[in-house]
Every structure is written in C-alpha cells, then in structure tokens.
C-alpha cells in the first residue's frame, strides 16, 4: 500500500528532481521550444511543496488537488495546464483515500494520463509527453492485471516511459511549439517526455 505520507514524499521528491534537472530540461527545451521547461517545472513543484507545508492535506485526493491548483497557477506554457490536469484527474479518483493499493495506483495514473491526453489532444508519435505516458500506462495496466506489486508496476512504467522518451529523438514534432520547426525538430529529445520519465522515476522511489 502507498500511504498519504508516501504520496507527500513523491511531491517532495519531484521538487528536488526538477530543481536538480532544471538546466537539463531547459537545455532540451531550448532546441525545440521556449527554453523554459526546466525553470517552469522547478518553480511549479517548489510552490506545490510549499503549499502542502502550509496546508497539510487530510487525504490523497486533497493533496493531489492542491498540487494541481498550484501547478496551474505557477507553471507557464503548456506544462502547467497539462501536468495540472494530470494531478486534478488523479485527485478525483483518490478523493477521501489515505492509502492506495496496486489497483489504486493504476487508477491514479490511468485517470491522470487520460486527462493529459484529453487536454493536449496529442497521440503517440507527435513528439510530446504522450510518447512517454502512453507506453507507461500500458505497462502499468498489463503488470497490475498480472498481480504485480506497486514496485513492479512502477518499475515497468519507468522502463516503458524511458523507451518512449528515447523514441522521440528521430520524430518530427506535430504538436506544440516544436511543431513550428518542422524537420528541424528531428534529432532532439522531447523535454515533456523527459520530465514525464522523471515524474515516474520519483514515483517509483517513493510510492513503492
């Protein structure tokens, strides 16, 4: 089971991870975007961590909703609405819960990822975060149905997301700012897919 404290630790870990990788993500984004993805993600999760410290949530749904609202208010570009939607949809499925079993973890990610897909209208192959999220969701569902533990589910999710992230390098972007570059967007790793892998890796480190 993943407890409320572990989900809180996930957000704390994300603050550290995005702060540590701020320059790396911004460097990736400078090639095909606005050169602000790392800065935005770090700022958003610093604010999210602070919001949770100021108003400790009573359950996982309230925690994830706080993160969502904070990201939407503080993160610029497409990342704020997309990651904000992820946490908002995840919050709705976790309302009133103080711990999650493997099925609950699957539902958290399934609803969150589907929210991102609905909001961004991207599909696999568009060179976006969906190239990492979609295979991760498939891996989560497949492993959970085979009776895997939370640790095994998240291991599979990270591995699938990493492959998806790497698959973005040769793609021509069809969505977002990178799509304006056309063929020049090839041979660059998508920053959103990269930050998705970091999010899942932090989940594996804290929720398992």
Task: Give me the residue spans of the domains in the chain.
Answer: 2-207
79 phi, psi to nearest 5 deg: -65, -40
pLDDT at 149 exceeding the cut of 90: yes
The confidence score (pLDDT) of residue 181 equals: 67
The confidence score (pLDDT) of residue 188 equals: 93
191 phi, psi to nearest 5 deg: -65, -35
> For residue 29, how many other CB atoms are within 10 A of its CB?
27
The confidence score (pLDDT) of residue 170 equals: 93
How far is the C-alpha of 177 from the C-alpha of 118, rounded, in Å? 18
Look at 126 and 77; give whichever has higher pLDDT: 126
> Percent of the chain scored above 90 by pLDDT?
88
pTM > 0.85: yes
Query: Could you write out the DSSP letters of every residue in 138-158?
Result: HHHHHHHHTT--HHHHHHHHH
- Topology of the domain comprising 2-207: 1.25.40
């Amino acid at each position: 089971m993943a407890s409320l404290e572990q989900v809180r630790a996930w957000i704390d870990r994300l603050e550290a991870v995005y702060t540590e990788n701020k320059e790396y993500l911004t460097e990736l984004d400078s090639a095909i975007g606005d050169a602000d993805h790392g800065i935005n993600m770090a700022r958003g999760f610093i604010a999210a961590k602070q919001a949770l410290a100021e108003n400790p949530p009573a359950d996982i749904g309230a925690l994830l909703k706080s993160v969502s609202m904070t990201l939407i208010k503080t993160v610029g570009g497409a990342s704020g609405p997309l990651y904000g939607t992820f946490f908002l949809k995840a919050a709705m499925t976790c309302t009133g819960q103080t711990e999650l079993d493997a099925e609950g973890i699957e539902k958290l990610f399934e609803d969150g990822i589907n929210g991102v897909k609905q909001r961004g209208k991207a599909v696999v192959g568009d060179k976006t975060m969906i190239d990492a999220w979609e295979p991760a969701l498939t891996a989560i569902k497949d492993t959970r149905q085979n009776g895997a533990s939370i640790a095994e589910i998240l291991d599979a999710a990270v591995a699938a997301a990493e492959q998806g992230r790497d698959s973005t390098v040769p793609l021509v972007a069809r969505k977002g700012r990178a799509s304006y570059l056309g063929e020049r967007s090839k041979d660059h790793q998508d920053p959103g897919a990269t930050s998705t892998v970091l999010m899942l890796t932090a989940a594996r480190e804290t929720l398992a």
